[in-house]
Structure 1
Amino acid sequence: MERSSSTDRFQPLTSTKSKDGIEITPDVYGFTTQIVNVYMIGNPAKSKDWILVDAGMPLRANTILEKAAERFGDDHRLKAILLTHGHFDHIGGLIDILEKHPVPVYAHPEELPYITGQKDYPQADPTVEGGMLAKLSIEFPVKGIDISEHANPLPADGAVPGLPEWNWYHTPGHSDGHISFFRERDRFLIVGDAFLTVKQDSLFDVLFQRKKVSGPPVYLTTDWTAAKNSVQQLRALEPSIAAPGHGKPVIGSDLAEGLTKLSARFDEVARPDHGKYIKGK
């Protein structure tokens, strides 16, 4: 497996919620690594098996596995890893986790080149309209990694291996192969970075995790038309619970109102006015 700065270089970014965990439902647990969330799917009252969604910040694999042991027991059984996408803050712990638990990793076919050593991501845009984190984004790693022996495409029919109640949806814009996961039974949506519940370019909002349904991170989103379409697609699912890549879970009327506003006014409230990936509103 090929390491890169996306997995082996510490990023000095954090929030007051770092290392906090929350049981959203009995079988979905959210855990924050610095500024980004990972999700553990599995009911510890019924089984030691679990599936990980995303792999957090670089050098945080042990923190994730320690939390898994706390939740599922020292003899927990990680069965698979699902990636919403492969940006550095979502795959930072991936290689270290795979060295201890060599499980299959599933991603959208268009995201596979970034985790099989074929492509690097476009450079972040520090000139984009936004706050302090946008200005600092030039330092964020964009180099791809190579986990070819573990990487697999998600099934084309929308099924999620190991999770028969869940389906995946292609929600590009933030990245070519970005996906989100949805469970019809309780209308549970694992969003990734298709939309957030914190204004991710604001250092203050990230530090204190001020809740607000917001668009994807401005500095790494390269296709704003696709990003808008993805938000509208997720709004049409009418989720009752949304668990984002950044920010706190949001439920009920707060989610419905926030997502409706974001969908209807995306160009006004989410798409930046300027930046190298902005083609005009």
Structure 2
Amino acid sequence: MTRTDPASAARRDGCREVADGVVMITRAVTNSYLLATDDGLVLIDAGLPRSWNLLVDALAALRSTPDDLVSVYLTHGHFDHVGTLERLQREHHVPVHVHAADAPLVRHPYRYDRESPRSLYALRHPGGLPSLARMTLAGALGVRGVEARGDVSHGVAVLGGLMPIATPGHTYGHVAFHLPDRDVLFAGDALVTFDPYTGRAGPQIVARAATADSRAALAALPDLSATGASTVLPGHGDAWMRGIREAVSGALAIGPH
């Protein structure tokens, strides 16, 4: 797979290498990540249902198939991050792991707390409508929940040397994953570089229409800063190559929205 400049990816659909052994899979402004480790191939988040073919393509580029995945680790349980799990479990028996507080959400990925009604928010922020339409076409309204192992804990390393960092706020059990040996931080939706609900680009927390507690989400950002990671890989938007500290500073300046 050819490595491309992630800053030029412009949130287009496709697969691209964004760090050593890390492939970003993007469908409808939603990212998941395929990670090659000494423990095997790991998937971080599972995108929308119609990202399946892109996942298969990313695996094929590594001369692998879904049967070669050793695990899926979820940053959180929202519908747009669990979309391929049902197929991965049913056809390939891939284990899925998440923080215990988000295990019920993985079972029911549309039952989540939010600070602002989605319908009214869309009317106030029409810039997000194109992204939400793309997500709908990618299967956002037809996601099936699954059973996940609620065994991801803050500060307890998992496969591949991934270190979970508790970042509650977007959801109650949200975690980011730090990969120190590659200087990479998988931020999930604790910090994104594009918000599908507003259409706004740049480092920020996700809009109130999809966030349980914006104040808690902002309070969690310094723990991400403490990693000092150079490469930040968000759940939505382009990879951020200018360091987590600058990204967090930008998100704090914007605040909740």
TM-score normalised by the chain length of structure 2: 0.80
> Deviations for 1:41-89, whole angstroms, at most 9, x for unmatched residues?
105xx88x30101111123323312321222335861100111111111
Does residue 236 (structure 1) correspond to residue 231 (structure 2)? The answer is: no
Structure 1 CA distance for aligned equivalents of residues 141 and 43 of structure 2: 22
Structure 2 CA distance for aligned equivalents of residues 126 and 90 of structure 1: 21
Residue 162 of structure 1: aligned partner: 159
Structure 1 residue 38: Cα displacement: 0.6
Equivalent in 170, 180, 200 of residue 196 of structure 2: 200
Contact 1:17–1:32 (CA under 8 A) maintained in structure 2: yes
Residue 9 of structure 1: aligned partner: none
Structure 1 residue 174: Cα displacement: 0.9
TM-score normalised by the chain length of structure 1: 0.74
Does residue 247 (structure 1) correspond to residue 237 (structure 2)? The answer is: yes
Does residue 153 (structure 1) correspond to residue 153 (structure 2)? The answer is: no
> Deviations for 1:225-256, whole angstroms, at most 9, x for unmatched residues?
11111122212322211000011111235x53
Contact 2:100–2:152 (CA under 8 A) maintained in structure 1: no
Does residue 17 (structure 1) correspond to residue 12 (structure 2)? The answer is: yes
Does residue 100 (structure 1) correspond to residue 91 (structure 2)? The answer is: yes
Residue 257 of structure 1: aligned partner: 246
Contact 1:166–1:181 (CA under 8 A) maintained in structure 2: yes
Residue 276 of structure 1: aligned partner: none
Where in structure 1 are there 5+ consecutive unaligned residues?
A: 1-14, 273-281
In proportion to residue count, which structure has more strand?
Answer: 2
What percent identity do the matched residue pairs reach? 23
Structure 1 CA distance for aligned equivalents of residues 54 and 35 of structure 2: 17
Structure 1 residue 102: Cα displacement: 0.6
Residue 270 of structure 1: aligned partner: 255
Aligned residues: 240
Contact 1:29–1:40 (CA under 8 A) maintained in structure 2: yes
Does residue 132 (structure 1) correspond to residue 127 (structure 2)? The answer is: yes
- For 2:245, the aligned partner's letter is A
Where in structure 2 are there 5+ consecutive unaligned residues?
A: 1-9
Structure 1 CA distance for aligned equivalents of residues 111 and 242 of structure 2: 38
> Deviations for 1:192-227, whole angstroms, at most 9, x for unmatched residues?
001111243334x5xxxx5x2122233201201111
Residue 275 of structure 1: aligned partner: none
Structure 1 CA distance for aligned equivalents of residues 94 and 84 of structure 2: 14
In proportion to residue count, which structure has more helix?
Answer: 2
- For 1:172, the aligned partner's letter is P
Equivalent in 62, 77, 80 of residue 53 of structure 2: 62
RMSD: 3.1
Contact 2:99–2:173 (CA under 8 A) maintained in structure 1: yes
- For 2:30, the aligned partner's letter is V
List structure 1 segments (4+ residues) > 4 angstroms apart after TM superposition. 134-146
Residue 78 of structure 1: aligned partner: 69
> Deviations for 1:94-121, whole angstroms, at most 9, x for unmatched residues?
1112222212100000000122359822
SS at match of 1:60: helix
Structure 2 CA distance for aligned equivalents of residues 96 and 144 of structure 1: 11
Residue 180 of structure 1: aligned partner: 176
Contact 2:189–2:234 (CA under 8 A) maintained in structure 1: yes
Residue 82 of structure 2: aligned partner: 91
Structure 1 residue 126: Cα displacement: 3.1
In terms of mean alpha carbon deviation, does 57-66 or 101-110 score higher?
57-66
Contact 2:30–2:80 (CA under 8 A) maintained in structure 1: yes
